Amino acid sequence: MEPPRLTRPPTRLRGALVAALILLSGPVACTFEYAPPSERQTRSAPDADTSLVLAELYSYYRDFSARDWGLFAEHFWPGATIAVVWRPPGADAPRVTVTTVPEFVAAAPEGPGSHPIFEERMVETRIRLTDGLAQAWVRYRARFGNPGDVEEWEGTDAFTLMRHDGQWRIVSLAFQSDGPGS
């Protein structure tokens, strides 16, 4: 018999958890932009959908940093992609690499799973919502390495999220690191 698997909390509970996640995760600067069909306006406080998108992002970074690859993959819709510019070992020049989430998870032991210390945290977040679509630009801070030899850097994650059946999940993620290997 398999042990029970942790799954996402119901949508109503996720919305209620966003405040606790924000308080526990430390300070993050946020900008929220809304583009309703009739006009574009900027507000200083999030509405319910923006709060759910923000909760989804906090959960994504928590599960990514914990290297819980099952929960990590659940943040993405089937067929979602992850893209980065990097130089593969032995390549002459950097190139754009686009992978599926299962491909990324399969390669994780060679990347974020290759050292005992790995963490990414949101520093600044900009979210723009239009109906069931969201764009989120997240400035993150990363730590990676071994005890006594930890590299730190910042970078940018650009997320496209889509709401379906009351759930926000990632359709695509493109990222650029300002640190090692960028």
Q: How many domains does the chain have?
A: 1
Assess if residue 32 is contained within a domain. Answer: yes
Separation of alpha carbons 9 and 60, rounded Å: 13
pLDDT band at 46 (very low <50, low <70, confident <90, very high): low
Is it the case that residue 13 has pLDDT exceeding 60?
A: no
Assess if residue 54 is contained within a domain. Answer: yes
**Number of residues in the chain:** 182
Assess if residue 147 is contained within a domain. Answer: yes
Give the CATH number, domain containing residue 79: 3.10.450.50
Assess if residue 1 is contained within a domain. Answer: no
The label of the residue with tokens 């993150």 reads 140
Which DSSP letter does residue 68 get?
A: -
Q: What is the pLDDT of residues 56-109, one digit of tens each?
A: 999 999 999 999 999 999 999 999 999 999 888 899 999 999 999 999 999 998
The label of the residue with tokens 């390495």 reads 145
Assess if residue 165 is contained within a domain. Answer: yes
Q: What is the pLDDT of residues 128-162, one digit of tens each?
A: 999 899 999 999 999 999 999 999 999 999 999 99
Cβ atoms of residues 43 and 49 within 8 Å = no
Assess if residue 7 is contained within a domain. Answer: no
Assess if residue 159 is contained within a domain. Answer: yes
The label of the residue with tokens 């790995």 reads 118
Separation of alpha carbons 52 and 14, rounded Å: 7
Quote the pLDDT of residue 89. 84
Quote the pLDDT of residue 27. 46
Assess if residue 84 is contained within a domain. Answer: yes
Q: What is the full DSSP assignment across 70-136?
A: HHHHTTEEEEEEEEEEE--TT-SS-EEEEEEHHHHHHHGGGTGGGSSEEEEEEEEEEEEEETTEEEE
Residue numbers of the domain that contains 126: 26-177
Quote the pLDDT of residue 106. 95
Is it the case that residue 33 has pLDDT exceeding 60?
A: no
| Helix (H) / strand (E) containing 159 | strand 149-164
- Give every CB contact of residue 29 below 8 A, 6+ residues apart in sequence: 123, 124, 125
Quote the pLDDT of residue 4. 43
